Every structure is written in structure tokens, then in C-alpha cells.
Structure 1
């Protein structure tokens, strides 16, 4: 009998080792990981440079608290702000904490409590970030949500504009709605948001928890759009598996986050910053990011073959190495069959397979994954025809 709360539907697999794009279980079975811990291990498992840096750090110092200077925070912030000019960083431990910080910062700076979010968005599971999430299933059973949030249809500029009031201080969005189905924001929609933020003096919060740190082929996904965020939030891939989150905000917001206004006991600790420093130094290079785009295109081309071959696939969505495969039925059985073959994939809603391989994935590993998908979909289609 487990002593854990049943908050997850866990697969009965016990992984004991990771190496690059593969996980190995206690039966020595190898699995090609096309989920990366849900967009976390962007450099694969146990990247040697990160392992070495963590090993050195863990032998010297782990934690002192933010009452003292941690130089690595300044170093990581400097790298992140190369992409987000005129930025200041606040470090925490997760995406939901980063979004909580963003909500607090936006409300304190603007003096306004209304924030517009989007249906099918996902921003976390603490009360503030949960309230910002536009999914009723996330809210159910917890009573009244934090006041001040409203939700409009993603990619619907007219509905968004109609929701703005005198008490609206900010808009929060994902460039690509990950948990909501890998839904990509449209160029015209983002152009309209930029204009609305300028017209009504709204802050723009871009949740880059899943799309950031190179996942879509640029350091941050918003860099491929007309969006001009005042705040971005990061986590997941930032530490390649070591828990770390961050809020990056424009310097003009500094007055709202002065001494004593926000904090985090473990935020920006030595281990988190060590891993983040190595991770962002590797990823935030033009040459590396170019390979992500190229491999993303390669994977999409291979998946197009699957779409043309198997009627179960209705649509391919995404950018870089963040891809959704929408099917015409529930995909839970497909996920289980792929896992049995040795390929780990995720879901984004009941009918969408979600692919989030390491950014270091090779073409040969992409071919291997596509081979497994074709095998499973062929068998799945055959079994379906036999039932009919």
C-alpha cells in the first residue's frame, strides 16, 4: 500500500538511470524519451557538463538563503537578460511560483486587480496561478477562486478587447498553449494584443514555462512573434531537471518589487543556479538554437508522412521541438502502446499526443521514434478495422 496521495496516475515503471535521450528501468529496458520530464530535460538526461558542475558545487555549498549574495544568480540573470533586454530577474523554484510572482508584480505595479487570461490556458496549481488558468477542471472542488481573473477565447482578438475594463492591469498568455492542446497563437492575434497593451497601458505577461529555454527554436518563444512582454515566466527547462523557476521583468517594474515585497527561501540556491547557468550557456547560442529549428522541421516532415498514412491523425501543431498530434479519438491507448514499444510520449488533452523530446535529440533518434509511431498506428488501425 502506497503512502503517497493519489494525485497522479503513475505507470508501473521504475527508472533507475538516464543517459541523453534514453531512460533505463530496473529491468534494464531502454526507453526513448520524447517527453523530457514534460519539457524539463532539454539537454537530455545527465548531461556531462551539468553533472560535473553539480558535483563540484555539491561538495562545496548548497544553501545560505537570499539574505546573502549568491553571485551565480547575477550570472544567470545576465545571460537570460541578453534575450530579454532591460530585464531584472527573480528566482524561485517552479513555474507556478514564477506565475504567482508575476501576478503579484502586475497587480502591485498597476494598482489594478483585473487580469485577462485565456480559455484552455495553464499557469499552475497554486491559488493565484490556478485562478489564472482558464480550465474549469483545474478549479473544481476548491471553492471560490482568487478574484480578478476572466477568460476569453485564445486567438479571438475581438472577444479580448471587449473584456478590457478600467480595472484591467494585465494580460497573461502562453505563446503556445501546452496543456491546452499545443495550440499555437496566431500572428495577427499577437499583433492585436501588442496594440491593445499600448492603447490601454496594460502589462503583458508571457508564460514561457514550457515554451522557453530553446524549446521552440529561440531562447523564448515570444521572440518569434510581435509580442512585447513586460514580464516573462520560466521554469521547466531552465535547470534541466534541478527545480528552478524565474520571473524576468522590465526594469520599470523594480519599484513594485522592492525590499520585503516578495521572497523565496530556496529560490536561486547554489545547486539550482549551477544547473541553470550551465543549461542556459549551452542553449542560448545561435548555432544550438538553429539545430533545434532544423530538427523540429525534420520531425514535422516525418510526422506529415504519418498523417498522410494514418487517418487517425487529424492535425499537426507546434513549433520547434514542441509538437502536438491531434487524433480523431482518445489517445490514452496509443500512449500505452508506444510505452510498451519503448517510446515515451505525453498528452495535451484527451485527443492530442504531445512530443517534447530533448533539444539534443539526434536525427537517428527521431527516425527511431517515428518508426515506433508507425508500428503502433498501423496495428491500432488494423485492430480498429477488425472490430468494425
Structure 2
């Protein structure tokens, strides 16, 4: 089997076959995508199809073509169009985190310890994304199964299996929360890393969101199963009634006449009609009502001419132009003034005379904006000062 030698070759092949792959991906649920259809899309260039077949991007089965499972899974995951719930992948990543934590504690070289820490951070980030996708896919599959599956037994079996997937995801979420809990493991206390802390906070928020959605999914599954149970019971009774009717035994072996005679359900009554009177205001202001009135007038051949009411003249007050002025702070001008002096940046901003009233908090914001935008023209020292519980670096012009 031929393989791609580098990323460029892979991307070039996917780009050359983008029209074919796009069409095949749309019809991936169909098992009979003909070879002739592919020829029409690539202008009857069989070499391009053979090139993709040789490198296992697509597979040929007789006269039919299909995307290889590896690339199909990649497209579905990236486009979030996959329908398969893969809880084992979450479990594998959990085990990977645990293993790298052990490696981290056993390693004494700082560089290699950092490599293990980097793997742990990447894996934790993947766990959050994969869990969210699985919950979304689970909800979509449950809805599709209840609405699309025609067989009651298969519908019930599929919903039960999907509910088991929900329970598996819930257990994995509990294991993940236990793993990242600072009370249960010392790694997250000893491995002090700002990015790791952010990833853990984000992961906890993702898991909390998944938990809330799983509670709603559980309620939905229970509701669907109850509906299936009720529908299957009704269908079974109807089958029995039809069987007895076909055998001409319905009236003799059942009390259907007595049941129908005492049944006063609304479904057996004629639909009532109620006159609807439209308001005069609606008839005067609605375009649709005016069009209907004109149609009725044409049928009646009435000589009365209907005209729409004319709106009052717009007041000149609404047409007057109003100008609102707002003073903007020019950071470039403030920077030029600071560079020309010898004060430190914080005191300079605090004492600078702006064209409008600026509060202390707004001046602190201006100080931070100038540091971020004009860092190259400032000399940022390691000295620090403090004012009104705000600690700031001493910055001077270069």
C-alpha cells in the first residue's frame, strides 16, 4: 500500500479530489456511489481516482466507491457530524493522564518532566472537547432514533443502548472530576503551572455543562421509553381488534358496541365553527385586510371606492439633525508627552491633564494600554511601587 511521504503531498491530494470527496461525504450513508459518478466529477481523469485509491483515501468495491474509514472518521470528527458515541476514547485519555503523572513524579530531569507535563495538559484539553462532543452526539442520536426508527422493538433497544452510553459518560465525568480534584491527588498542587490551572478550570466548566445536559438527556430517554411503551400497547390492541374484525368475531367476542355507545369523546363530534369579528383598527391599518376588502368589493361589484388613510405630515422636529460630541483620548499624544519628560509612566498618567474628567480606574486602564502598545519605546525596570492598593512597575522613557 502506498502512503503519503509528507503533509504537503497529503494536502495536495485532498485538494485535487475535493469535489469528489465532498460529494462522497454527503452520500456516505449510501453504499452504492458509482465509479461513473466519480468520473463525471473529475472530468473523466481515471488517474486521479486511482491515485486516491492507491493511497487508501477511497476504497473501490466492484463498481462502487467509498471513503476509507480513517478519513471518513477524520472528516466527521472535524465537522462534528459523527454519530458514533466513543466513550472508550475518554477512558484511554484518562489512563494516559494517570500514566504521565506517574512518569512526572519518577523523573528528576526538569526538561523531561516538562515534556510529561505538556502531554498531561494536552490530554486534559482533549478530554473536555471529546466529552462535550459525545454529549452532543448522544442527544442527537436519541432524537433521531425516536423520530426515525420505524420498528418499535429496535427503537426501544437503541434507546436503552444509548442510555447505557449516557451512564458510561457520567461515570467517566465522575472519574475525571476525581482525577483533577486537588484534594485527591498531589500532582496538581506540586506541578505549579499557570496554563495547567487554566485548563483545569476550563475542564471543570465543560464537565459541569456536560453533567447538566446528561440530566436532561436522562429525562428525555425516560419520556421516550414511556411513549414507546404506550404506543406499542395501543398498536398491539389495534392488531388484536383488526384480527377479530377480519375473522368476523369482533362483535361476538367483545363489547365494542357497548363501549362505543357510551363514549362521548370529542373526536366523534363535528368540528365547531366560531365567527371571528375583526377589530375596526385592524381593518384600517392592516395591508392584508385592505387587500382582502378590495377582493370582496370586486366580487360584490360595489360602486364604493375604498382608499387607504393618509398618514399625518412628519413633524420638522424629527428631521432636525442632532450632533453629539465626545472627547476621545489620544494615546499617541500621551506617549509623546511622556517620552519628552523624565517622570515614570504611572505618575505621568496620574497627573496628565486630559480634555475631560478621567477617574483613577480609567487612568490605570490607560497606563496598561500604553505599556501594551508602546513597550518598545519604554524602559521597563524591575522596580515596583504601590498606590491605592495597586502595585505597578516603574517605567521610564528610553
TM-score by length of 1: 0.20
Structure number with greater CO (CA < 8 Å, separation at least 6) is 1
Q: Which has the larger radius of gyration?
A: 2
User: Greater helix percent: which structure?
Assistant: 2
